[in-house]
A = this chain, B = another copy of it.
Amino acid sequence: MEWSIQEIAKIAGTTSRTLRHYDDIGLLKPSSTGHNGYRYYSQSALVQLQRILLLRELGLGLPVIAQVLDREQDTAEALHGHLGWLEQEQNRLGRQIASVRRTIKAVEGGENLMAEEILDGFDHTRYKDEVEERWGKDAYAMGDAWWRGMGQDEKQAWKQRAQKLGSDWIAAAKAGIAPDSEAAQELAERHVEWLQDIPGTPAAANGQNGVNSGDIKGYVTGLGDMYVADPRFGANYGGTEGAMFVRDSLRIYAELNL
C-alpha cells in the first residue's frame, strides 16, 4: 500500500509542504518515486513520519530528530537534554513575566519609562554587559529588579549617594593624597558599604545570591580594575587617573579589611 503525498499528509495530520521539506533536508525520503517525479510513501514511511511529528510536537528540532531516527543518539537521552532546555526556557519566561509586571506597575504608577534624569550620575543599565559577563545573568537581573522596584525618591537618594561618593573620590584624587592614607581608606570603606546595598552582587550583605562571602574581596578589587579599564566607569571618578586612585585605594582596603 502506498500513498500520494497529500494522502499521507492527511493521514498524519500535516501538509504536503512539510513532507517536501523533510525530503529536501533528508529527514524523510519517499519510499518510491514515480517516473513523473511523484513522491509515494509506504507504511513504514508513515511510521517514521508519525515518529517525527511526535518528537516535533515535543519541541525537538529537526536535526536532533534526524539523529534520533538514525540511531546516532538515544531517544531518552535526547529527550532529557531537551527537557533541560525547556525548563530553562520556562524559568526565563517566568522572570520575564515578573519583569513585565513590575514595569507595568511602574508605568501605571506614573513613572516615565527611563526618563532623561536617570542618565546623569547613575545609570545602572549601562553596566549590563559587564555585570552579566563577570557575575552571571542573575546578578544583573536581581540588580535590575531591585532598581526598578525602587520608588522615585529612593532612586533619587541612591543617585545622590553615588554622585557624592564619586565627587568625593575625585576631590581626594585631585588633592594628591595617597591611596593608603586615612582619608582614602575612609572613602574605600564608604564605597564598599555602598556596594553592599546592591542586591545580587557578591558584596551584598544578605547572602541571597549563590556566591559565598569569600568572593567579596575579589569582587571589590575586580571592580577597581574595571573602573580603570572601562572609561564608562572611570568617568564617574574623574577619568582614568581618578579611577586608578580609586582602584588602588580599594585594593589596599580589601587586603586589610576583607
Contacts and interface: CB of A to CB of B under 8 A. Distances in A.
Which of A44, A55, A113 is most buried by chain B, counting CB atoms within 10 A of its CB? Answer: A113
Give the contact-size bracket for chain A: 35 or more
Contact of A100 (B50, B51, B86, B129): B86
Q: Is the interface of A mostly helix, strand, loop or mixed?
A: helix
B58 A107 contact: no
A113 B57 contact: no
A29 interface: no
Interface in A148-178: none
B59 A107 contact: no
Interface string A51-84: 1011101110000000000000001100110110
Interface string A80-119: 1011001101100110110111011001100001111001
A54 B97 contact: no
Given A104-B79, A128-B13, A232-B11, A99 B46 contact: no
A25 interface: no
A126 B13 contact: yes
Contact of A51 (B10, B82, B114): B114
B114 A100 contact: no
A12 interface: yes
A90 B93 contact: yes
Contact of A232 (B10, B47, B119): B10
B46 A119 contact: yes
Contact of A83 (B46, B75, B101): B101
A43 interface: yes
B75 A113 contact: yes
B126 A100 contact: no
A39 B110 CA distance: 34
A125 interface: yes
A82 to B, nearest CB: 6
A112 B124 CA distance: 53
Contacts of A75: 107, 113
A216 to B, nearest CB: 25
B47 A119 contact: yes
Contacts of A113: 51, 54-55, 75
Interface string A121-155: 00101111100000000000000000000000000
